């Protein structure tokens, strides 16, 4: 876990996607660059293509046209370097917390004792020290999502792709996970892409927000936040409020007046 990535550069060119012939494009003409270790929030109303774009970035789906390159290499399939986390943690209920976290390492052929050491370190990282022997079903939703996070980090991904990962959690748990994921990504040199329709979540987690519009799914606007909003001082709280207002305005430019209030 001491290993630190240098982060991956993501380059997307002229991406279009159509699920079925004759159907409207789910994504159209999307191009952008994401710098190594940058954190991006993909925001927009349901159906604007956020998940489709995320799955294409992960290599889980091929676009109809256009390309995704990571550090110059064309993405043509899934890879342990690019991990997706979903709203549901998808843990295996018959396995302990430690077994769930160590699953990827086991598949990668790591020896038992090395795996155990790494799992311990990963559990510390996600603030679940001492939970290894527990049954995953005994854990709260937030704790289960932390187990999923530890499992995702086990293989040192360069890119972490999150699809509304905290939307099933209560606000307090959600905030602590937002903060922890951001910190872990910064410390570990991981490029983050977070899909969310929650404006506060986008501001809390991202350096930039990509606002998407629907029919066809496209990039409407890119907004950069200057603030580092992790520490929670008064100054940062002010910056947080102002960044949130900027994103709300951008959201309203895309979706019309009053839309930002209904966004989350």
Length of the chain: 264
Min dist CB 217 to ligand ADP, Å, is 6
Instruction: Tell me the C-alpha distance between 243 and 63, whole Å.
Output: 32
Backbone angles phi, psi at 123, to 5 degrees: -65, -35
Q: Which is nearer to ligand ADP, 75 or 97 (CB)?
A: 75
Q: Which is nearer to Mg ion, 28 or 51 (CB)?
A: 51
- DSSP H or E stretch at residue 209: strand 208-213
Backbone angles phi, psi at 58, to 5 degrees: -75, -15
Give the range of 22-30, 43-51, 110-118, 140-148 binding Mg ion by CB under 5 A: 43-51
Question: Dihedral of the CA atoms 117, 120, 124, 126 (nearest 10)?
Answer: 110
Min dist CB 30 to ligand ADP, Å, is 12
User: Over the Cα atoms of the chain, what is R_g?
Assistant: 18
Per the listing, tokens 């922890």 go with 180
Min dist CB 179 to ligand ADP, Å, is 24
What lies within 8 Å, CB to CB, of 198 at 6+ separation is 167, 263, 264
Q: Which is nearer to ligand ADP, 54 or 185 (CB)?
A: 54
Q: Does 19 bind ligand ADP (CB under 6 A)?
A: yes
Min dist CB 57 to ligand ADP, Å, is 12
Which residues from 20-59 bind ligand ADP, rule CB under 6 A?
26, 44, 46-52
Long-range residue pairs from 17-21, CB within 8 A, at least 24 positions apart, any chain: 17/49, 17/52, 17/56, 17/61, 17/63, 17/64, 17/217, 18/64
Min dist CB 214 to ligand ADP, Å, is 7
Q: Does 51 bind Mg ion (CB under 5 A)?
A: yes
From residue 200 to residue 229, what is the string marking binding to ligand ADP with x (rule CB under 6 A)?
A: -----------------x------------
Query: Which of Mg ion, ligand ADP, none is residue 107 near (CB under 5 to 8 Å by kind)?
Result: none
Q: Are 81 and 158 in contact (CB under 8 A)?
A: yes
Min dist CB 197 to Mg ion, Å, is 9
Query: Which of ligand ADP, Mg ion, none is residue 47 near (CB under 5 to 8 Å by kind)?
Result: ligand ADP
Question: Which positions lie near Mg ion, rule CB under 5 A?
Answer: 51
Question: Which positions lie near ligand ADP, rule CB under 6 A?
Answer: 19, 26, 44, 46-52, 217
């Amino acid at each position: 876990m001491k290993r630190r990535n240098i982060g991956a550069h993501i380059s997307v060119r002229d991406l279009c996607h159509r699920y079925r012939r004759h159907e409207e494009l789910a994504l159209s003409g999307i191009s952008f660059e994401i710098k190594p270790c940058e954190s991006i929030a993909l925001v927009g109303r349901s159906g604007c293509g956020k998940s489709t774009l995320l799955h294409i970035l992960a290599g889980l789906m091929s676009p109809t046209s256009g390309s995704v390159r990571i550090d110059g290499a064309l993405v043509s399939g899934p890879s342990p370097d690019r991990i997706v986390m979903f709203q549901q943690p998808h843990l295996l209920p018959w396995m302990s917390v430690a077994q769930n976290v160590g699953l990827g390492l086991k598949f990668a052929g790591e020896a038992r004792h090395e795996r155990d050491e790494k799992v311990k370190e990963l559990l510390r990282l996600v603030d679940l020290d001492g939970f290894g022997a527990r049954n995953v079903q005994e854990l709260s939703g937030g704790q289960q999502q932390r187990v999923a996070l530890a499992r995702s980090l086990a293989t040192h991904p360069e890119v972490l792709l999150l699809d509304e990962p905290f939307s099933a959690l209560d606000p307090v748990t959600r905030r602590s996970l937002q903060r922890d994921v951001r910190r872990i990504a910064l410390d570990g040199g991981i490029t983050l892409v977070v899909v969310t329709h929650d404006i506060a979540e986008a501001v809390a987690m991202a350096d930039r927000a990509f606002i998407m519009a629907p029919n066809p799914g496209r990039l409407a606007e890119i907004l950069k936040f200057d603030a580092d909003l992790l520490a929670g001082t008064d100054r940062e709280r002010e910056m947080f409020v102002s960044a949130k207002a900027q994103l709300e305005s951008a959201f309203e430019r895309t979706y019309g007046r009053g839309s930002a209030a209904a966004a989350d």
